[in-house]
Amino acid sequence: MPFFDFHIHPVLKCLFSSNDAAHGFTQLSPWVPLDKAKIPFLLRWCSDFPEILQSQGNLAQLVNIDCNLIVVALYMPEYDILTASLIQGSTTGPLKVYLEGSRLNDLTTGNPFQILVQQNLYTLTNPASFGVTDRNVKLLQTRADYQPADNKTIHVVCSVEGCHTLSSKLQTYDPNEIIANLDALCKRVRVLSLNLTHMEQSTICNHSYGMQFLINDGFRPKGNGISDDGVKVLTHCYQNKIMVDLKHMSLGARQQLYRLRSSPDFQSINQPVICTHAGFTGISWTEIPAYVLMSYEFKAGYTQVWQGKPVKYGGNGTSPAFNASTINLYDEDIYEILLSGGLIGFSMDERILGYQPYMDDTTGSGRLDYPLDIEYISNPERTTFFGNSGEVEVGGAFEDHKVLKWGDLFAGGEVDPAVSEYHLRFFMAHVLHVLVVARKFNYDDNKALSQLCIGADFDGLIDPLWVCPTCSSLPTLKDAFIGKFADFATESKVPLPAGFSISDFADGLFYGNGKDFALKRLDLLSGQS
């Protein structure tokens, strides 16, 4: 059985190198994995960095597991990422073959859109230039271009991750230029969706905090919803049958999107709501204050928030939890996607899916008895987040024992990536939660389950699940899911639909659902529907 991925970056890690023979540099091949031996010094920054920086989903890995239909995320790293001291400081050590200093400078000062169309797309679609002659990458234009039996070809449609990627200069956001470049890109490739924003502040749309290992105020949200410029870009996308991806939008921006979709101006142009690489909060947005342990408002324009991790499922042994940060989807977000006929792709990032490694209190983390997710929300969106409750010092969920405690991590014995199914339980909890949300809103069970797929985000900067560290492990994840999901649902006291077939559902989750959705969108974009 082949595989589908709704959000993957197979050439991103080639972006930071160039063919500069005079200085001893050769562009990295998207068909050759990175050498993890070259990155041990980063262990002092984060013990998981070798797993994060390895090739999690390059083109060779995808071909080898027959992941033959993917949505490639076209993305240019933001200015504050490229100029970070951690990144710049890695250009002189063993990592210099992967992070070339002059190349970083070219990316920082260059034209993101031109780099995208002239370099990234070439790297993606020209395997022969990297010595690969027996495998191929095909940009799909119509449904007929897709040949599912061709296991030597990766079939590609695209998304654009962030309006900054469509600009002529980083940290500039001219809506007319963004729209013109989007139109130019669509003449070359089929673009299914656009993220209005990403990790960094923009004048298009406020974002959710998502940068965990670089410290810069530019990553902390300060805006308020979607700007007039953002609405202009959004309207153009919908008029041209391009979906807008919820991922990275702030809670206030998402709620504004739903209001716009209900307005008369959007009734005739609405497109499905999607989230290509999602995690869930596990709660309604009305429950947010209950899960906030403490918060602190900064005059710089943002509020720091410490949130507990909601526990909803499991019961026998170690219980999984959710990450309640606003970068993840609340129950209402999930329902908006389902109701619109959209699709949810599950991220393979352990942090997004709710896992957090144990931290000893002696480290001075201040995390007391609870693992907490720390994020930043913009001050203009405080009311959206807190409602009218103002400052929340201790949320009711802590008093009601609805959040994960440090001791819960070890309730089922040692959590060991070599023997434990703990990470699998976080993934299964997300699938189960969709059923619970569908029933909460009286939405059809089976239809909801057909609107789920994998959106791994591999070869970005994710910290992957132990059970699926790279796309090469997707078959293992699928087999483990088939073997454990029914028991996990029983343990969680969530009944599965009548006549539920775990093997049929897994085939849809890992391939069929995404394939059908992508080809239907391709029909619309090619005018064949």
pLDDT (0 to 100) of residue 457: 97
First to last CA, the chain: 27
Cβ burial of 314 (10 Å; 0-12, 13-18, 19+) is buried
pLDDT tens per residue, range 452-509? 999 999 998 888 998 999 999 999 999 999 999 999 999 999 999 999 999 999 999 9
- CA–centroid distance for 513 within its chain: 18
CA 91/CA 93 separation, integer angstroms: 6
Both tokens of 165, joined, read 């990627």
Of 3-7, 158-162, 279-283, 391-395, minimum mean pLDDT range: 391-395
pTM attached to this predicted model: 0.95
pLDDT (0 to 100) of residue 255: 98
pLDDT (0 to 100) of residue 84: 83
Check if the beta carbon of residue 334 is closer than 8 Å to that of residue 340: no
Compute the average pLDDT of residues 293-320: 88
98 has pLDDT over 90? no
pLDDT tens per residue, range 231-264? 999 999 999 999 999 999 999 999 999 999 999 9
Compute the average pLDDT of residues 521-528: 91
Cross-strand partners of 73: 159
35 has pLDDT over 60? yes
Total residue length of the chain: 529
Domains delineated in the chain: 4-525 (3.20.20.140)
Check if the beta carbon of residue 290 is closer than 8 Å to that of residue 335: no
DSSP 114-157: HHIIIIIHHHHH-GGGGT--S-EEEE-SSGGG--TT-TTEEEEE
Nearby residues of 164 by Cβ (< 8 Å), 6 or more positions away: 76, 78, 112, 170, 171, 173, 198, 200, 202
pLDDT tens per residue, range 58-77? 999 999 999 999 999 999 99
